[in-house]
Amino acid sequence: METALLRYCVNFSSHPYHKKISAHHRVDGETQRDERCATALSRRSVLASGFSLVSSTSLMFPGEGLAVVKQGLLAGRVPGLSEPDDEGWRTYRRPDEKSGGHGVGWSPIIPYSFSVPQDWNEVPVSIADLGGTEIDLRFASPKEGRLSVIVAPVLRFADNLGDDVKIENIGPPAKVINAFGPEVIGENVEGKVLSSNVSEHEGRLYYQFELEPPHVLITATAAGNRLYLFSVTGNGLQWKRHYKDLKRIASSFRIV
């Protein structure tokens, strides 16, 4: 029933006739139907249904003019972000009290950390796309580039992995990037993977990839019942001038 309603909502909201209906011409039944559409589209279960309703741009970073919502305190010092070290780098650790669960019944998100230069700061996550419910965090620097953390329930991809998943349980690096790379860039990654590496830290494996085009570095791992995709990207000029820093950021991602 919900799937049928979702299909109706998506199709109806995009129909030209819908845009011509003014509020005072709507009948009660249509108003109630609109309210049911809003509810259906906002449910996180939409993600588990397998619908692909968002573009690659909206998955990674919202375009100008999109509605945004702030998660946590964005003004001043960001919760979880350390003071700069001697090199001017700061470490972000996901606060234990930060909201976000990606579905009723899911355990709390296991915290993660990464390091960024001093001028990187948290930016709003868009509510204009359904992918926003899986994008846990965004950071950006006007000078160097931007990053995002996607935290996705592994049950979206397999139902027999248990509650303490390791990235190697999901598959080898080639399988992981082919399956989940489109979550980041919004298109097939075939022919775009320049390199892949596997690193181990405190007994946990991290798959690291470099893709081009577009310029993006992806670190993938798993913990609890979730897959973590940490992506770092920049435009051509940022990539050329700050590749070393972007690479360092991508390599710093850890589950803590």
pLDDT, tens digit, 9 for 90 and up, residues 63-114 = 433 333 334 444 344 689 999 999 999 999 999 888 765 554 566 899 999 9
Secondary structure class of 218 (helix, strand, coil):
strand
DSSP of 60-75, one letter per residue?
H-PPTT--EE--S--S
**Class of residue 124 by CB neighbours under 10 A (exposed 0-12, middle 13-18, buried 19+):** middle
The predicted pLDDT at position 155 comes to: 82
Q: Taking 90 as the threshold, does the pLDDT of residue 158 lie above it? A: no
DSSP of 6-52, one letter per residue?
HHHHHHHHHSHHHHH--GGG--HHHHHHHHHHHHHHH-THHHHTT--
Both structure tokens of 207: 């798959």
pLDDT single digits (tens) 43-52: 333 333 333 3
- Under DSSP, the state recorded for 177 is H
Q: Radius of gyration of the chain from Cα atoms?
A: 19
| Phi-psi group of 171: left, alpha or beta (phi > 0 → left; psi -120 to 50 → alpha; rest → beta) | left
The predicted pLDDT at position 49 comes to: 35
Taking the chain, what is the end-to-end CA distance rounded to the nearest angstrom?
40
Q: Taking 50 as the threshold, does the pLDDT of residue 59 lie above it? A: no
Residues ≥6 apart with Cβ < 8 Å to 133:
44, 47, 102
**Class of residue 10 by CB neighbours under 10 A (exposed 0-12, middle 13-18, buried 19+):** middle
Residues ≥6 apart with Cβ < 8 Å to 120:
90, 139, 140, 141, 144, 147, 249
- In this structure, what are the phi and psi dihedrals at residue 189, rounded to the nearest 5 degrees? -95, 5
pLDDT single digits (tens) 207-230: 999 999 999 999 999 999 999 999
The predicted pLDDT at position 94 comes to: 96
What pTM was estimated for this model as a whole? Answer: 0.70
Per-residue confidence band for 249, with pLDDT thresholds at 50, 70 and 90: very high
